[in-house]
Amino acid sequence: MLFDSGAAKLLGPGLCYILQSLKAAGYEAGQVDIVVITHLHGDHISGLIRENGQAAFPNTRVFAA
């Protein structure tokens, strides 16, 4: 389970990217099965989609309040 997906490149190139951070921690995007979005601001949801338009977490159900 992951809470929020981060900003990706929404706020500029110097930010950390969730997929790279997960990989550095020893996890792959396919291992995430649930993403809980705390609120729908771009800096919390932009990491759900890769630059090529594909889902960043292919095996995931996304929940938002």
Whole-prediction pTM value?
0.82
- The parent domain of residue 55 ranges over 2-64
Rounded-to-integer distance, Cα 51 and Cα 45, Å: 13
Total number of domains in the chain: 1
Beta bridge partners of 62: 35
Q: What is the pLDDT of residues 7-64, one digit of tens each?
A: 888 887 766 688 888 999 999 999 999 999 999 999 999 999 988 999 999 999 999 9
The pLDDT score that the predictor gives to residue 16 is 66
pLDDT for 4 equals: 94
- Who contacts 30 (Cβ-Cβ below 8 Å, separation ≥6)? 57, 58, 59
